[in-house]
Amino acid sequence: MKKQVFDLSPGSRITGKWNGRTYTTIKKLGAGACGTVFLCRSEQGDTYALKVGEDSSRMMLEVNMLKKFSKVQGVKLGPSFVDVDDWINPSGRSFPFYVMEYVDGTPLPEFLKGKTKDWVGIFAIQLLTDLENLHHAGYVFGDLKTENLLISSSRVRWIDVGGVTAIGRAIKEYTEFYDRGYWNLGSRKAEATYDLFAVTMIMMEMGYPKRFDKGSHPHKTLESKLASSSVLKPYRRIIQQCWKGKIQNSADMKRALSDILMKRSGTNSSRVQKRRSAKESENRELATLTLTAGVVFGVSVLSFFL
């Protein structure tokens, strides 16, 4: 899909036609198929993210998603909803916009840079925990990619729910690298396995920060890349099972990843003990990330890091 880009310079004022609230832009955060997102400041001095677009129906759908997923099964998934209105630009045209919580965090690739391969599994488990809640609510994320994820206070946060789709419908907003249809490994039907494939591609990106093309034989390309990555070695079997459709839901994938980490805890416990002081700070951060995920399968994954 073509990106909708609104070029508003810092200091531009956007005033709602109906509610009358004014927001001042600070900088552009990004642009997508449905609009452009700006960091802004309210009249009260609070900082938010503001998205402006052209398609009113699509924007309202996103607003409804934000409201719906403010809390799913007691878990906060997407950013909190703040305001929705129409903006009349200097030329007299009307554009819909909405305001949401600004999630201040670290981009996933930057957060994982230089960290051990175990972080890939812990991150994936936390992401799958949130996806499990979303799937139980009857939706899939759809456009799941690293750009839509931040690490904030040692927790994975979603920053764009524009691709969220009801289970059973067609995925309309996606990014090729994370789309199983692009790799000839499934349809674009909204189902849990669509998101699971995207999770495997996010994991692949941890091994290959620069995304690669599918080539003339997409499946062979994936298998070759997977086999060549030392970072992904512990997770190869799980990733392959997802590609083959043998893992059908988030809970099963989460359990499989937890089993791998538990096995590694027994293998590496002596080495971890020897370098405990050198890794103490990193382990504390990792422990926090693990606790936030709420992952317990018989024995805590935390035993791997203590």
Q: Which residues are catalytic?
A: 143
Q: Exposed e or buried b for every residue in 272-282, given b needs 16+ CB within 10 A?
A: beeeeeeeeee
Between CA 79 and CA 121 the distance in angstroms is 24
Q: CA torsion sign, 225 to 232 to 280 to 296?
A: positive
Q: How far is CA 5 from CA 31, 124, 201, in A?
A: 6, 32, 27
Tokens representing 107 are 């981009």
H helices present in 69-143, as ranges: 108-112, 118-136
Q: What is the DSSP letter of 72?
A: B
Please say whether the beta carbons of 156 and 106 come within 8 A.
Answer: no
Q: Order of strands, edge to edge, in the sheet holding 94-101?
A: 13-15, 22-32, 35-42, 47-52, 94-101, 81-88
Query: What is the rounded CA–CA span in Å between residue 227 and residue 28?
Result: 39
Compute the distance between CA of residue 205 and CA of residue 127 in angstroms, rounded to an integer: 15
Instruction: Determine how β-strand 13-15 pairs with β-strand 22-32.
Output: antiparallel
Q: How many CA atoms lie within 13 A of 203 on its CB side?
A: 36
How are beta strands 139-140 and 81-88 bridged, if at all?
A: unpaired
